[in-house]
Structure 1
């Protein structure tokens, strides 16, 4: 029995919108690239979803700030 290795596709989301992937960068690097156009991503949390059918959804969640 042969083992087949399949690459995992990544899908990035922020605020319900799918963002482009930048191959060669980790998730934080992708976040930083998009933060150049979407400034609130600069401090966003990276949330990794489960891998389903070879696809992993990664969500950028805006950091919650409190004023004190």
Structure 2
């Protein structure tokens, strides 16, 4: 029996856009923090893991909606 090693590509989705993986060594939260400099709503966004499908791990950044005050 042989073991096959495959590379999994990560994709980060936000607001209908697919954002490339900045660094595979970074956690999804760290990637979110880097992208928050460009997209301010990501500062408080939730990271949702949608699992692996066809060799791609998909994460989604969901904007937190709430009341001020």
TM-score by length of 2: 0.89
Spell out structure 1 runs of 4+ moving beyond 6 A. none
Unaligned runs of at least 5 residues, structure 1: none
RMSD value, Cα: 1.2
Within 5 Å, give how 1:50-61 maps onto structure 2. 50-61=51-62
Alpha-carbon distance in structure 2 between the residues aligned to 1:19 and 1:7? 18
How many residues are paired up?
68
TM-score by length of 1: 0.90
Deviations 1:8-64 (A, max 9, x none): 110001011011211121101110111001101000000001211110110000012
Number of the residue aligned with 1:28? 29
